Structure 1
Amino acid sequence: MRGFPPLRSDCVVGVPPIEACRVKVSVAKAQSVFPRIGVKDKRMKKICLDLEIYTYQIDFVGHVNNSVYQQWMEIGRTKLLEAVGMPIHAIAERGFVPILVQTNITYKNPLYLGDRVRLDLWLSELRAASAILDFRFFNGDNTLVAEAQQKGLFIDRETKRPRRLQTEERELFSPYVVSEFSANSNRETARV
């Protein structure tokens, strides 16, 4: 069985060197949050993945089926949890899990078999028990092909009620929280 696609080779914990995926943040903050991996980057982080298109993902119109984007977002969310040190299996053992409560996708251009796909993911909002995740999909020409937003919620596995993140858990996510202003300026840079 094939696993999730790896982070791009030019990414360090989901941080690519291209300016399209960077926003400034203090080195001290990044090092305090990620001491075990020695992050020394001065910027906010995004998860950036290169994804492949397979024949079974093509619909009757000849382009990537809309449901595939949701599968790619699942891969991105899983990679985000891994990047912050909270993989699904580990948090499930601690008694809580993430669920989705809302998904919105705007398709701008089709993707076809043979196209290259890049997914950028960050958090635009982090609350006590929920988060807003923003996704941007680009083709090989760096053209924006889709943008999406999901609202996720952490719940207790037993009670199925919202579960607030502890302070140290919230801090793990903080490098991936990018303001809308920054996200828009990055998106514009990515189109160049």
Structure 2
Amino acid sequence: MFKLEMRVRDYECDLQGVVNNAVYQNYLEHARHEFLLANEINFPALAKQGIDLMVVRSEIDYKASLRPHDHFYITVEMIKEGRVKVIFLQNIYRADGALMVAAKTYGATVKNGRPVRLVEELASLVAG
């Protein structure tokens, strides 16, 4: 399972002194990109062919709040959902192992704006 370590930056927190809920979307997106890069998915090459992986749905369950300077990590697993979709299963844990966020992000592959079967580069990464 892919794991990315990060730290909360001051400006990511709101007036209550916790990470703003919208920032978690940024954390999750960054982890997905790093997961794909670590698996040598060449998005510029796919984009030149008109192929994109687009987010079509996001589900986030907030369990607890991260605070300024907290160290945390994000896990990423990708599973297949039909012929054109994948689901990124992602969890955010504080460094002590406490679950902060559980998320599912659904992505669909499109070519020139139309749904297409998963390209081999992505299909080879799916867990199911």
**Highest RCO, 1 vs 2 (Cα 8 Å, sep ≥ 6):** 2
| Separation of aligned partners in 2, 1:73 and 1:58 | 16
TM superposition score normalised by structure 1: 0.62
The TM-score with structure 2 as length reference comes to 0.90
Residue identity matched to 1:66 = N
* Identical residues among aligned pairs (%): 27
Give the unaligned 5+ runs of structure 2.
none
C-alpha separation in 2, matches of 1:54 and 1:148: 21
2:117 to 154, 157, 164: 164
Question: What CA deviation, in whole Å up to 9, does each residue of 1:83-138 have, x standing for no partner?
Answer: 33223222112220111111010111110002111000102334321101111110
Residue 51 of structure 2 aligns with an amino acid whose one-letter code is F
Tell me the number of residue pairs that the alignment of Structure 1 and Structure 2 aligns.
128
Answer yes or no: is the 8 Å Cα contact 1:78–1:87 preserved in 2.
Answer: no
Does residue 1:67 correspond to 2:22, yes or no? yes
Q: Distance in 1 between matches of 2:92 and 2:72?
A: 7
Give the AA of the match of 2:78: L
Structure 1: 5+ residue stretches without partners: 1-45, 179-192
Whichever structure has more strand as a proportion of its residues is 2
Larger relative helix fraction: 1
Instruction: Give the 3-state SS of the residue equivalent to 1:62 in structure 2.
Output: coil
Report Cα offsets for 1:120-178 as digits up to 9, x if no partner. Answer: 0102334321101111110021111110001101111x2x1112124x3354213xx16
CA contact (8 A) 1:120 1:137 kept: yes
